[in-house]
Amino acid sequence: MTCKILLVGTGITGAVIASRLRTKLQNDISLVVWDKAKGCGGRMSTSRSPLNLECQADLGAQYITLSQENFQQHKDLYESLLNEKLLEPLSCKIEGMKDMPKGTQHLVAPNGMNSLVKYFFNNVPDKTCFEHHVSMVSYRDRKWKVETESGVNELFDIVILTMPIPQIFHLTDTIKNCISNDIINNLASVKYSSRYALVLFFNSIYALETNWDAKYVYNDEVFRYISFDNRKRNRPDLPLAAVFHTSVQYGLDNIERDLSDIQNELVNRVNNMFPTWPKPVYIKCHRWRYSQVLSPYKGQPGFVTLAENPLLIAGGDGFKSSHINDCISSAVAVTDVIFETIKNSK
């Protein structure tokens, strides 16, 4: 009998889970994917100018840093991305980057970070639904009834949650009836930083004169990171987009403010810092309420089983760290639990 699985979240953890489940279980599962966003990527999202689709920018993760140990741990996965030319060595100049141990690799996604997520999701789910914001998970007839804010509901044999951990607390019926107090307390202890990402799309091949392609900013109270995205992705011949990430403190102090006010404030800041830059043709400001994990789940297990029968499991960076290697490790651990659950139920 086919096991109907719901995967909530289309970030890198969810993408690797989906790919590995299909590889290991093939037609033994029916895999449905829901995400509240309009497209996949999570914090590996890539945005495009509505006026020129070749002008794009990574909103969240910028590049991948791998130690020799990291690379070896998931060598097959990284090599597949390199072979498909979805990853390549970072060659741009990044000012202010911290020194790394010998053998560390810096890799960049030339087609944008969400191309990695799309690669793992490609032709894997039986059904993918965006703008499906899960609002409740409850036990019904030996299955999980999952409902969205818009009123869509379905029954599933297994549910996998990969959203930021604080969002699990919005699933009130689940928290109230199914999860132990110890797990609730550990979930509540997970903390994230918050940031804003500002992107200025220029839609043309501007050669703005700087002695860097990206830089970490250490003497500014607002911005922490700046990048010319096309140059960062080793694609200087594509239209220019400039990406700005705010500091952790700025995000903490301003996370509840109106987004349009934040955008105006950040654009004015950029104009003061770089008064000779041309005027962008399009601007995007994005709020990362859950940017990177500051304090992970106790013991960093990679996942937590919230309920066993039927299986309700949560994974993602909150259970390890926001480093891509830890997101992949979480995905592998979640997949192994589901595989064993389905194998033992036969």
Q: DSSP labels for 87-107? A: -EE--S-EETPPP--TT-EEE
pLDDT at residue 225 greater than cutoff 80: yes
Exposure string (b/e) for 55-74, b if CB count within 10 Å is 16 or more? bbbbbbbbbbbbbeebbebb
pTM equals 0.96
Exposure string (b/e) for 282-320, b if CB count within 10 Å is 16 or more? bbbbebbebbbbeebbeeeebbbebbeebbbbbbbbbbb
Count of Cβ atoms closer than 10 Å to residue 231 Cβ: 23
Supply the Cα-derived Rg of the chain in whole angstroms: 21
Alpha-carbon span 175 to 165, nearest angstrom: 12
pLDDT of residue 150: 96
Q: What is the mean pLDDT of the chain?
A: 95
Which tokens belong to 24? 């290991």
Contacts of 16 (CB under 8 A, 6+ apart): 77, 120, 327, 328, 331, 332, 335
pLDDT of residue 345: 83
pLDDT of residue 172: 77
pLDDT-based confidence at residue 177 (cuts at 50, 70, 90): confident
pLDDT of residue 208: 82
Ordered by start, the domain boundaries in the chain are: 3-38+130-190+298-345, 192-293
**3-38+130-190+298-345 and 192-293 share one CATH topology?**
no
For 3-38+130-190+298-345, which CATH class?
Answer: alpha beta
pLDDT of residue 206: 75
192-293 fold: Polyamine Oxidase; Chain A, domain 2 (3.90.660)
Contacts of 276 (CB under 8 A, 6+ apart): none
Count of Cβ atoms closer than 10 Å to residue 17 Cβ: 31
Range 32-43 average pLDDT: 96
CA angle (84, 91, 245) in 5-degree steps: 95
pLDDT of residue 23: 96
Which tokens belong to 264? 């105006």
Q: Side-chain half-sphere of 331: how many Cα atoms within 13 Å?
A: 28
pLDDT digits (tens, 9 = 90+) for 250-278: 999 999 999 999 999 999 999 999 999 99
In the sheet with 303-307, reading across from the earlier edge strand, the strands are: 127-129, 29-34, 3-8, 158-161, 311-315, 303-307
pLDDT of residue 175: 73
